[in-house]
Structure 1
Amino acid sequence: MAAVKPTVGISAAAAISIAVISYFLLSNHSSKLRSKQKNKNSANEILNSKKKKKKEGLVSAIGSTPLVRINSLSDATGCEILGKAEFLNPGGSVKDRVAVKIIEEALASGQLVKGGVVTEGSAGSTAVSLATVAPAYGCKCHVVIPDDAAIEKSQILEALGATVERVRPVSITHRDHFVNIARRRASEATKLAAKQREATVMEANDLAEINHDISWQEECLHTLSTDCKGGFFADQFENLANFRAHYEGTGPEIWDQTGGNLHAFIAAAGTGGTLAGVSHFLKEKDPTVKCYLIDPPGSGLFNKVTRGVMYTREEAEGKRLKNPFDTITEGIGINRLTKNFMMAELDGAYRGTDKEAVEMSRYLLRNDGLFVGSSSAMNCVGAVKLAHALGPGQTIVTILCDSGIRHLSKFYNPQYLSEYGLTPCATGLEFLDPH
């Protein structure tokens, strides 16, 4: 029996080993099966999510804009200078992306309902984009715009069916700054909607009295007076849907279109959404990509990026006695930090001038057939300054925000330009200050 015990011990040990190995093999197999099933479920969820998010109609045509080589600037600098042709969006500008994102997020959160009024204060293209896409979501649009903005913007807005309220330009600290008025209009619309719901049992004259209490200008009352569903203030400067529109859309498109082979990105900022969203995305994909701001006259963002302060105490917005002539570019440049701009990841900044922007717009028209607006021209000024700083062989991307069609009365008006000594006369790129 003594001779048999070791054999029994060995057999038991072997059996235990086999059992343990089998357990781990089966467990590993089961784990792989569960992992595959989980991946399959995740893939299905993503697929279903994409199906749910599939856009139709006008909205489906927004985004996926071409990235074009700007031949004249590329050949002159030895860099590949590429422009994201956002003027090809249905509403004619980069702000179409923002309008869709703002409205969709507001509808999803319940802050906006079908039949509601989207209000916005805008001197740039955001107003036109909101007026373009709002009807696609069954909503109305009310825009408050400074009366020194190009008149064709108001004409376009009215043609799109938006209600336009033109007001005098004042500091953002003033209650009657166009942005602050737009915020009030949304609140008033929401209050009116609540009162109209209560007024279902009221007499017609009672309802008229309610409408009279709302502080809208007479020509604006029709926007709200019939079946108002409430208001929503788009708040393009502080609403981070602006940032997300470019982080989720414009940035990835640029990355894919360049195959990830780009060295730098540069753009101006108004709300800061485009610059922030694109720079944030590109830096995540490749931290070596350099991102820069190009800033127009009168804006404090250049100082903020390069020196850490926006302006001297005397220059602070709200301290000025009047609204000065700072720049003829519209929709870019600002003297306050917005939530969107604070998301930007920047390596530096350049200052552009009105003269450079005007000359650049004519240069691009002559040499490339590109008819661009003031902000697009300023972006191209920045791209060339950056190309000179980085040297030949770099790939630089910028944004062609909108076309010149919205800038005829000012930026492309010879008489207006002559009044400010901005008549274009350059034949090449000699007008550019490299700094």
Structure 2
Amino acid sequence: MWYNNILETIGNTPLVKLNTITKHVPGTILAKIETTNPGNSIKDRMAVKMIEEAEKSGKLKPGGTIIEGTSGNTGMGLAMAAIIKGYKCIFTTTDKQSKEKVDALRAFGADVIVCPTNVEPEDPRSYYSVSSRLEREVPNSWKPNQYDNLANSQAHYEQTGPEIWEQTEGKITHLVVGVGTGGTISGTGKYLKEKNPDIQVWGIDTYGSVFKKYKETGIFDKDEIYPYITEGIGEDFLPANVNFDVIDLFEKVTDKDAALMTRDIARKEGIFVGNSAGAAIGGLIQLKDKLKPEDVVVVIFHDHGSRYMGKMYNEDWLRERGFLQDEKLTAKSILAKKESTEIVTLDAQKSVLEAINTIKSMNISQIPVTQQGMIVGKIAESDILSALLENPGLKSAPISEIMTATFPFVDLNTSIDKISSLINKENSAVLVEDETGKIEIITQYDIINAISG
């Protein structure tokens, strides 16, 4: 048997029991692995459904251009379908989204415009506004508007819900889903509640999003809105696809917990998933006291970990945000093991001869160069030798004439791996600002000393 095109492989994703990460959560915990869709995310389902509905209604005509604001996964589904069906794609996204997602969209031949995250949805620079403007300006174009296009929810009512019902043989008691556009939770939840009204539908939200408070109070509180890192869930407005009647409760998960849980799913279950899956499991663990041993819980794993290699799966990215505190040596711990010495610097106006004398008397090979107290470069023995061989008269010239780029700066949370990679032929050290604002230097010797110590 074969498929006529890649779109026919969408859906019928596996349901897999989680054994380790949820071992302290009562009940049977099952993950719906949406990464097996051809675009590696659940969004393939609704992308094709939205296109099919637009074709039926005449909104999308042959040779047309699909224009959408997307965090990446919907765009992937739309781009894939567009290739098979003969459409062009222009996507707007935010600078919060991972580079991997943007690169993936471009790999499918789409034009991608990156817009600022920290602006209101109605701001002309927002990715919502830019996509709406392009739809008005580009001839024969159509904007799916995944947030308010109810074909999004319908796809999950027709596909995801029935699949879960059949796979659990009707035994499901709880559905746990990260909520962004709301299509997955609302469509799937609606179908399941029609089958059994006692099924609990739990939405996972993030701090900085409006969903939880709106569900609980009916108040849309703009003070709840602030920037957050978690991708794929939460919103600063109310999409039409979020059916609050279907969702029984919302649980908020912090950026840190979502990021670390995402990594844990890969390490403890061998399932390589994206950020929203980490948030969903984090939320489930927070709600564990609401579960009983006989419950059957289905958690949606929305997308693939490969889209987050520069973020949740990058230890330096996690450390920079204070999310990762582990046993690996960092700049901070290297400094703690090093004898505190005053860093030797030279002002840029000092002569090359003074630099030679300092290097000799201090028995060092490279010195940071300052200007008005700021480090602006460095001077090394090799720089001086090359310069003097070319022009012996440079001895009396200021060192600013022969200095080279400054040592790289790192922060206190930078890992030993990153620091080691920055130390090479050109740079024998890195600079770091300690907690008091004092500049310290870390050399290869300091790294060896910290490891052996």
Is the pair's TM-score, using the shorter chain for normalization, greater than 0.5? yes
d(CA) in 2 for partners of 1:128 and 1:108? 22
* Percent identity for Structure 1 against Structure 2: 37
Q: Give 2:9's aligned amino acid.
A: A
Describe the SS at the equivalent of 1:334. Answer: coil
Deviations 1:411-432, CA, capped at 9 Å, x for gaps:
2222222122111659xxxxxx
Partner of 2:82: 134
Partner of 2:239: 338
**Correspondence 1:77 to 2:32:** no
Partner of 1:267: 177
d(CA) in 2 for partners of 1:187 and 1:424? 49
Pick one of 227, 232, 249 that aligns with 1:325.
227
Partner of 2:125: 176
Q: Give 2:131's aligned amino acid.
A: A
d(CA) in 2 for partners of 1:310 and 1:380? 26
How do 1:310-321 and structure 2 match up within 5 A?
310-311=220-221, 315=223
Describe the SS at the equivalent of 1:101. Answer: helix
What is the count of residue pairs matched by the alignment?
324
Deviations 1:247-306, CA, capped at 9 Å, x for gaps:
111011101111110111111111010011111111111001111111112111111122
d(CA) in 2 for partners of 1:245 and 1:406? 23
Q: Give 1:264's aligned amino acid.
A: H
Change (3 A) 1:350 1:343: closer
Partner of 1:299: 209
Q: Does the CA-based 8 Å contact 2:45-2:156 persist in structure 1?
A: yes
Pick one of 146, 165, 169 that aligns with 1:236.
146
How do 1:171-250 and structure 2 match up within 5 A?
171-190=120-139, 230-250=140-160
Change (3 A) 1:124 1:303: farther
Q: CA shift at 1:76, angstroms?
A: 2.9
Partner of 1:12: none
Q: Give 2:292's aligned amino acid.
A: G
Deviations 1:152-178, CA, capped at 9 Å, x for gaps:
111111111001111222210212211
Q: CA shift at 1:325, angstroms?
A: 3.4
The root-mean-square deviation of aligned C-alpha atoms, in Å, is 1.8
Q: Does the CA-based 8 Å contact 2:205-2:234 persist in structure 1?
A: yes
Describe the SS at the equivalent of 1:72. Answer: coil
Pick one of 155, 163, 178 that aligns with 2:111.
163
Describe the SS at the equivalent of 1:350. Answer: strand
Q: TM-score, normalised by structure 1?
A: 0.71
d(CA) in 2 for partners of 1:424 and 1:389? 30
Q: TM-score, normalised by structure 2?
A: 0.69
Q: CA shift at 1:330, angstroms?
A: 1.0
Unaligned runs of 5+ in 1: 1-54, 191-229, 318-323, 427-435
Partner of 2:299: 398
d(CA) in 2 for partners of 1:74 and 1:117? 44
Q: Give 2:301's aligned amino acid.
A: L
d(CA) in 2 for partners of 1:385 and 1:167? 34
Deviations 1:43-101, CA, capped at 9 Å, x for gaps:
xxxxxxxxxxxx84111100111111111145332311111110110001000001100
Describe the SS at the equivalent of 2:138. Answer: helix
Pick one of 186, 194, 206 that aligns with 1:284.
194
Q: Does the CA-based 8 Å contact 1:300-1:336 persist in structure 2?
A: yes
Partner of 2:64: 116
Name whichever structure is richer in strand by fraction: 2
